Amino acid sequence: MRAGTPRRWATIALAVIGLALVAMPVVFDMFARAPKGAQMIQAFAPFMTNARLNGYHAEMSTIGGAVTDAPKVAQRLYARAPGSAQARFATEYPTFVAFEREWHGIYPDMTGMIDTIQHNLGNYDAVAALPSFTLFPWFFVIPGVIVLALLGLGIMRRARWRSVRWALVALGLALVLAPAVFQMFSRAPKGGRMMTAFKTIETSGRVARIQGYFGEIAAGQGAVALELIPALRRSGESAAEISTDYPGLTTFDAQWVHILNDMTPMIGAMSDNVANYQAVAALPPFALFPWFFVLPGLLVGGVAAGGGLRRLRRARDESSSDVLSSSTEGVI
Amino acid sequence: MTNRSLPRLGVGLAALVALALAAVPASAGQLKGTFGISAGSYFRMIYPAAAKSKSKYFSNPYSTDADKTYTLVTGGTDGGLRTGVLQPAPTPAFDAKGNSLAGRIIRPTSFTGIDFGLVTLGTAPSISVSAGRLSGQLVGFTAQWNKLSFKQGSSDVSGTYNAKTHAYVLTWTSVISGGPFNGFTGYWHLQGKFVS
């Protein structure tokens, strides 16, 4: 064998690695799933800021303020009536009281969810800073195709095998370095943590539950605006007095349209991305992603470099043997 | 073919023609004009089963009906829903608070504190009548609310039509796909008089 021609075992190994790289996105259905991840990351972007999430917390407190004011309203409206003011209030305003009852479950659930999202802001930012998910399948296919193309070139033009081998070593090195360049070792596990945290949030059941909350809160606001505040006015309080005495009630009413404007798109984004989340969750764990580059990189680089070394040694041996042979011949 | 079989064939063909004629309605035809939207027209929103709501229907506190699960609608500047042409959204479609400014089909109506309006987009509505029965498609029928659009059309609307009084009733359901009300079903009931 001439120095620089590809060895059989190296050829087979490189072909297997190249094919594996090309096949990996197909095996993991990355062409369908990865773009869904990109869509999810993009759709969440407007909501994944401390300012926006603090705003949601403030809105929850605003809604809760109306519930806090309810006993005062009952006292004002029915203090002189026979029996318990609260009981009378419950009889007269069943829609608000139903909302009040539901709110005790809604508030911890919603604030808990917002807290979870907020705790994962850093994780989200880390994932968003990675190259677009849409490109992910190509990060495997393109190196795989390059490996196969270089291998083909090396086989067809054996004289160029030496150059091809070094190109493969360079490609392997690039694959090894890629995760470090994109900070995947730190960012990908954070993405994994975000996916785990959102496991209980991005479900159709959770979204439906929040849709139900929306109905309850809307009914409560309607009761505040159309029943409680008018009743307080009828009781003799001016608008200014109501605003001073029942700030929770009036703030909820005044802020309602803003709350609707703000919350509705979030519910929409959650709802629209359930399938996208499921697609990303079905991909291999995020923490493994850097190793999907490093391991093939080491293999490509190692096989290309190793395959050549032995060949060179053999070539050297053959060369020495020729020299020895000719020397011996000379002696003889 | 024998001479005896010819009369039988004739009878068979005549029977087929008679059956075909019976199947064709006497007064089938497109109704091109405006389906005026009058009192009694309404919209209801049905919760998805997964929402596990205590009520089947979403309650709109701002409804003018005693039963808040009915949101009553009345005709807009065009008087109602036009067939054969589109009634698109104005520009801008919403005000700063998200109230719909689309007022041609219905007068924008409060839904949980924000007005919704109706438009037809893409495919113009087409309704036909046959023996007093209405059928057709309203696939471009779209509700606009809170700076969002919700496809609420159907390719299978049905109803009744009185050719003498021009009174009609049209009903259909449409499942909302995507967005904050994903999975909800809109139930639409329009009634009034048709004007060609």
Condensed to tens digits (0 to 9), the pLDDT of residues B48-57 reads: 877 666 778 9
Distance from the Cα of B161 to chain A's closest Cα (Å) equals: 35
> Looking at residue A157, what is its pLDDT?
83
Better-scored residue on pLDDT, A313 or A85: A85
pLDDT at A322 over 70: no
Cβ <8 Å between A212 and B59: no
Query: Which residue from A225, A260, A265 is facing B114, i.e. has the nearest CB?
Result: A260
Query: Which residue from A222, A265, A268 is facing B61, i.e. has the nearest CB?
Result: A222
Per-residue pLDDT band for A43 (boundaries 50, 70, 90) equals very high
CB atoms within 10 A of CB B20: 9
User: Does A260 contact B at CB distance below 8 Å?
Assistant: yes
Could you tell me which of B42, B125, B119 has the C-alpha nearest to residue B82?
B125
Q: What one-character-per-residue DSSP string does A123-154 give?
A: HHHHHHTSSPGGGHHHHHHHHHHHHHHHHHHH
- ipTM score above 0.85: no
Backbone φ/ψ region at B80: left (φ over 0), alpha (ψ -120 to 50), beta: left
> Looking at residue B17, what is its pLDDT?
46
User: Does A208 contact B at CB distance below 8 Å?
Assistant: yes
Could you tell me which of B166, B156, B178, B179 has the C-alpha nearest to residue B80?
B166
* pTM for the predicted model, two decimal places: 0.81
Report the range of poorest mean pLDDT among B54-58, B86-90, B116-120. Answer: B54-58
CB atoms within 10 A of CB A44: 22
Can you name the residues that pair with A180 across neighbouring β-strands? none
Cβ <8 Å between B61 and A204: no
Per-residue pLDDT band for A61 (boundaries 50, 70, 90) equals very high
> Looking at residue A102, what is its pLDDT?
94
SS3 content of chain A, % helix, strand, coil (to 5): 90, 0, 10
Query: Which residue from B51, B58, B178 is facing A209, i.e. has the nearest CB?
Result: B51
Residue of A nearest to B177 (CA): A272
Distance from the Cα of B69 to chain A's closest Cα (Å) equals: 11
Phi, psi of B141 (to 5 degrees): -70, 120
Cβ <8 Å between A256 and B181: no
C-alpha to C-alpha distance for A145 and A168, rounded to whole angstroms: 12
Half-sphere exposure at residue A223, Cβ-oriented, CA atoms within 13 angstroms: 23
Average pLDDT score over chain A: 88
Per-residue pLDDT band for A53 (boundaries 50, 70, 90) equals very high
C-alpha to C-alpha distance for A282 and A276, rounded to whole angstroms: 10
Backbone φ/ψ region at B131: left (φ over 0), alpha (ψ -120 to 50), beta: left
Distance of CA A330 to the CA centre of its chain: 75
CA distances from residue A119 to A50, A194, A250 in whole angstroms, order as listed = 10, 9, 31
Cβ <8 Å between A211 and B178: no
Distance from the Cα of A262 to chain B's closest Cα (Å) equals: 10
> Looking at residue B12, what is its pLDDT?
55
Mean pLDDT of all residues in B3-30: 52
User: Does A268 contact B at CB distance below 8 Å?
Assistant: yes
C-alpha to C-alpha distance for A166 and A175, rounded to whole angstroms: 14
Cβ <8 Å between A265 and B180: yes
pLDDT at A14 over 60: yes
pLDDT tens profile B145-180: 999 999 999 999 999 999 999 999 999 999 999 899
Distance from the Cα of B181 to chain A's closest Cα (Å) equals: 7
CB atoms within 10 A of CB B196: 8
> Looking at residue A324, what is its pLDDT?
41
Could you tell me which of B196, B188, B193 has the C-alpha nearest to residue B73?
B188
Mean pLDDT of all residues in A39-45: 95
pLDDT tens profile A169-210: 999 999 999 999 999 999 999 999 999 999 999 999 999 999
pLDDT tens profile A144-158: 999 999 999 888 887
Cβ <8 Å between B114 and A257: yes
Cβ <8 Å between A271 and B182: yes
**Interface mutation target, options B56, B112, B115, B116, chain A, most CBs of A under 10 Å:** B112
Interface of A with B in 24-83 (CB under 8 A): none
pLDDT at B23 over 50: no
Read off the DSSP letter of residue B185.
Answer: E
Could you tell me which of A10, A55, A329, A257 has the C-alpha nearest to residue B147?
A257
pLDDT at A41 over 50: yes
Mean pLDDT of all residues in B67-96: 97
For residue A219, the chain B residues in CB contact (below 8 A) are 59, 61, 68
Distance from the Cα of B63 to chain A's closest Cα (Å) equals: 10
Phi, psi of A3 (to 5 degrees): -60, 135
- Domain range list for chain B: 27-195
For residue A221, the chain B residues in CB contact (below 8 A) are 61, 112-113
For residue B55, the chain A residues in CB contact (below 8 A) are 215
> Looking at residue A155, what is its pLDDT?
85
> Looking at residue A30, what is its pLDDT?
93
Helix/strand/coil (H, E, C) string of A238-269? Answer: CHHHHHHHCHHHHHHHHHHHHHHHHHHHHHHH
pLDDT at A80 over 60: yes
